């Protein structure tokens, strides 16, 4: 399926909007989009997350990999909370839990992709890139292939461009990759992972090495030969 591929033919417009969180996955996705010849417009969010250091990471990554424009948009999801990332709820440090974890942020990817869709339609981009992963996805419902398919269908039903036949494609090139495979792909594309920030509960920008995100990241880097700079 096209949305699961890591490479797709360029359309008349080579502009793409890339969701850039500042983490390992989104940095790799930006590098993939750039390697495919897209004119990348990065979009990051300050959404009331406790790990705001990821915004600084996103800015470093955007400058390092290269983008045409990098927007940092503010939407305060902490107003309604409901997540350990946006509310006064402790981030689990005892390994993976059954079911959907408390670090799930209600409807986050839908909110982010909706903003990316509006941005894309306004600038004439018809490709959206997101770093969701169904292998190491920690149980998040908005990181599944079915979700990406559904959002792409929505994008083409709910926009002027889509209705007029200028279709959008939502690319999720990491969807079927393990964290090790993601790192290997990024290294091959020259990603400097020391610039990235993945921890859910960093202290002064330093990773805790205990949360689910850190555990997945640390375990993957331990398997990858020749990568000495993990970052956080």
Rg of the chain over Cα atoms, rounded to whole angstroms, equals 17
pTM, to two decimals: 0.91
Buried b (16+ CB within 10 A) or exposed e, 142-172: bbbeebbeebbebbbeebebbeeebebbbbb
What confidence tens digit (pLDDT) does each residue in 42-68 have? 999 999 998 778 999 999 999 999 999
Task: Let me know: does 45 contact 72? Beta carbons within 8 Å.
Answer: yes
DSSP state of 165: T
User: What is the residue-averaged pLDDT of the chain?
Assistant: 90
Domain boundaries, the chain: 12-223
Confidence band (pLDDT; 50, 70, 90) for 13?
Answer: low
Residue 158 has pLDDT above 80, yes or no: yes
Residue 94 has pLDDT above 90, yes or no: no
What confidence tens digit (pLDDT) does each residue in 67-81 have? 999 999 999 999 999
Contacts of 138 (CB under 8 A, 6+ apart): 96, 101, 103, 212, 213, 216
Instruction: Compute the distance between CA of residue 139 and CA of residue 141 in angstroms, rounded to an integer.
Output: 6
Confidence band (pLDDT; 50, 70, 90) for 97?
Answer: low
- For the structural domain made of 12-223, what CATH number should be given? 3.40.50.620
Instruction: Compute the distance between CA of residue 142 and CA of residue 134 in angstroms, rounded to an integer.
Output: 9
Nearest Cα neighbor of 58 from 195, 226, 230 is: 195
What confidence tens digit (pLDDT) does each residue in 109-129 have? 999 999 999 999 999 999 999
Task: Let me know: does 191 contact 28? Beta carbons within 8 Å.
Answer: yes
What confidence tens digit (pLDDT) does each residue in 163-217 have? 999 999 999 999 999 999 999 999 999 999 999 999 999 988 889 999 989 999 9
Task: Name beta bridge partners: 201.
Answer: none
């Amino acid at each position: 399926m096209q949305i699961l591929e890591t490479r797709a033919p360029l359309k008349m417009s080579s502009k793409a909007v890339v969701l850039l969180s500042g983490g390992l996955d989104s940095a790799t996705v930006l590098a993939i989009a750039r390697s495919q010849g897209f004119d990348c417009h990065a979009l990051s969010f300050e959404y009331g997350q406790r790990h705001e250091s990821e915004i600084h990471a996103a800015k470093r990554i955007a400058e390092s990999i290269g983008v045409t424009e990098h927007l940092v948009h503010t939407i305060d999801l902490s107003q309604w909370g409901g997540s350990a990332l946006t509310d006064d709820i402790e981030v689990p440090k005892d390994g993976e839990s059954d079911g959907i974890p408390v670090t799930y942020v209600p409807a986050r990817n839908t909110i982010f992709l909706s903003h990316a869709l509006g941005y894309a339609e306004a600038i004439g981009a018809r490709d959206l890139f997101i770093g969701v992963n169904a292998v190491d996805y920690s149980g998040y419902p908005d990181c599944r292939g079915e979700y990406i398919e559904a959002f792409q269908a929505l994008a083409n039903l709910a926009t002027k461009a889509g209705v007029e036949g200028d279709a959008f494609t939502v690319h999720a090139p990491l969807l079927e990759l393990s964290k090790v495979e993601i790192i290997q792909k990024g290294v091959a594309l020259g990603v400097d992972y020391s610039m990235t920030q993945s921890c859910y509960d960093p202290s002064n920008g330093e990773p805790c090495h205990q949360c689910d995100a850190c555990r997945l990241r640390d375990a993957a880097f331990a398997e990858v030969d020749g990568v000495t700079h993990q970052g956080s």
